[in-house]
Amino acid sequence: MQHKLDWQASATSAQRARSRALLSILGVAAALALAACGNGSGSGQAASDSKRIAVFQPTNTNNYTVTEIKGAVDAAKSNGYEVDVFDSEFDAAKQASQVQQATDAKRYDGFVIMASGAPGTVCTQIQNAMRAGIRVAMINQPACDPAYGQNEYANPMKGTSFTGWQSPKLFQEYFEAAFKANPEGGEYAVIAPPAAHQNFGRVKAALDAVAAKHPQWTSVGFVPGDYLTNTALAKTAGVIAAHPNLKLLFSLYSGMTDGAYAALSSAGHADTVKIIDWVSEVQGYARIKSGVYQIGFTGLPYEEGYRGTQSVIAQITGKDEFQGVPAFGFIDLSKDPKVAKLGFEVKATNVEQFQNAGFPELPDQPATLKVANPF
């Protein structure tokens, strides 16, 4: 799945020049360290005959991250790189420790990281890795700087790349699509991403911007979830018990929407509450097609992992781009050829078009994907 693409990365020429200069300096330092140690083992970057990438993920408990890992592993192995995958179990401190241990191990050429928590939780470790000559690509969330606004989201930390599609603009389109499809108004609630996750802030900012234009809708809950089905079930049950006149429910991950739908069904409200899914997966597509969910927005987890890994390979090999994906800057997946003509909004009237284009993205055998923490 090696596509030759023409990306419009957001990094300026000056940024790229500075980044290349920094990496050149780091490369010289690494080379001197290797020369001082003979074969380079035990010091500096990985040995010259080693090609290894570490992939850091916040969880291995949902289809999104498993699919993202699959994309990263496929991109790495198809280009001759070995891969170690770290699962931090949504523990930001654990992920920071994993990144530092991987840096200290001196066996990796590059890191592909989906942050577990807020921007600053792994920032120091990313900077340490870069100082050690390890190339860094962020996926799903940028590193270090708050990414609640469009400008911050699209301008990753210098010397890194950021591959993503869940922009503030797209979140606004998500809410706007639902409010426009239901002009009558009423009460709505949101089962949101985890409060410590960057998506939480982007979702809230997007909702605030859109809701102001639809005063006929009244929020009765912006409830942080944890991307897990059972948590969403419990929290949705609480919302519907307190607000039996609920008309619209947003759920910002398909796995959570499973739980939300179960709670509404159990309470006898599945036919009266319109459900708006996010990152629609197989079950979401089926329910959109049958009319159980009104709208879904498709996800690009495989492309996220794949493009991020292509980007870090570009950095490792000292190229401006690799297979059309730039080494540095923002890699905007909303421009990916796979979704560019379709957009992201999935409805009963277009769901088959998305399916014919290869959506939803899932690994072939998610149950057999091996995720091993080397340390």
Domain-embedded: residue 211:
yes
Give the other-Cβ count within 10 Å of 106's Cβ. Answer: 20
Integer Cα distance of 351 and 89 in angstroms: 33
Q: Which of 298, 326, 348 is the last residue of a domain?
A: 298
Q: Check which CATH number belongs to the domain holding 28 and give it.
A: 3.40.50.2300
CA–CA dist 221, 328 (Å, integer): 39
Confidence at residue 369, expressed as pLDDT on a 0 to 100 scale = 62
Contact between 142 and 329 under an 8 Å Cβ cutoff? The reply is no
Contact 197, 224 (CB under 8 A): no
Q: Classify residue 63: in a domain, yes or no.
A: yes
Q: Is residue 353 part of a domain?
A: no
CA quadruple 149, 342, 225, 115: dihedral positive or negative?
Answer: negative
Judged by DSSP in three states, 134 sits in: coil
Torsion of CA 257, 261, 264, 270, to 10 degrees: 130
Q: Is 354 contained in some domain? A: no
> 327 and 160 in contact (C-beta within 8 Å)?
no
Q: What pLDDT does residue 370 have?
A: 66
Tell me the three-class secondary structure of 59-75, residue by residue.
Answer: CCCCHHHHHHHHHHHHH
Between β-strands 321-322 and 186-192, what pairing exists: parallel, antiparallel or unpaired? unpaired
> Residue 364: what pLDDT?
63
Give me the domain span that covers residue 92: 13-163+300-335+360-368
Which stretches of the chain score pLDDT less than 50?
Answer: 1-48
**Residue 335 CB neighbours (<10 A):** 14
Q: What is the CB-side half-sphere exposure of residue 255 using CA atoms within 13 A?
A: 15
Could you tell me if 189 and 251 are in contact, meaning their C-beta atoms sit under 8 angstroms apart?
Answer: no
Instruction: State the pLDDT at residue 147.
Output: 62
- Burial letters 294-325, b for 16+ CB under 10 A, else e: bbbbbbbbbbbbbbbbbbbbbbbeeeebbbeb
250 shares a domain with 125: no
Number of domains forming the structure of the chain: 2
Integer CA distances (angstroms), 60 to 54, 124, 162, 327, 368, in order: 15, 24, 21, 27, 12
- Name the token pair of 135: 């190339």
Q: Assess if residue 129 is contained within a domain.
A: yes
Do both 204 and 330 map to the same domain? no
Query: Which of 136, 94, 68 lies closest to 300, judged by CA?
Result: 68
Tens of pLDDT, residues 247-300: 999 999 999 999 999 999 999 999 999 999 999 999 999 999 999 999 999 999
- The backbone torsions φ and ψ at residue 319, rounded to the nearest 5 degrees and listed phi first, read -105, 155
DSSP helix/strand/coil, 222: strand
348 found inside a domain: no
pLDDT of residue 68: 94
Phi, psi of 123 (to 5 degrees): -65, -50
Looking at residue 198, its pLDDT comes to: 82
Judgement on whether residues 179 and 159 belong to the same structural domain of the protein: no
Domain identity same for 229 and 321: no
**Residue 291 burial by CB count (10 A; 0-12/13-18/19+): exposed, middle or buried?**
exposed
- pLDDT for the residue numbered 9: 39
Give the pair of three-digit tokens for residue 168.
Answer: 């503030």
Is the domain of 79 the same as that of 129? yes
Residues 26 and 157 in one domain: yes
Per-residue buried b or exposed e for 245-270, using 16+ beta carbons within 10 Å of the residue's own CB: ebbbbbbbbbbbbbbbbbbbeebebe
Whether 341 is covered by a domain: the verdict is: no
Last residue of a domain, one of 271, 298, 325: 298
105, 210: one domain: no
Same domain assignment for residues 33 and 130: yes
248 and 120 housed in the same domain: no
Record the tokens describing residue 213, joined without a space: 């234009």
Quick one: 317 and 280 in the same domain? no
Domain end, chosen from 250, 274, 298, is at 298
Kindly report the pTM of this predicted structure. Answer: 0.84
Do 153 and 206 lie in one domain? The reply is no
The rounded Cα 371 to chain-centroid distance in angstroms is 18
Residues 40 and 79 reside in one and the same domain:
yes
**55, part of any domain:** yes
What was the pLDDT predicted at 90?
86
Contact 93, 122 (CB under 8 A): no
Give the integer Cα–Cα distance in Å for 285 and 63: 14
3-state helix, strand, coil in the chain (%, to 5): 45, 20, 40
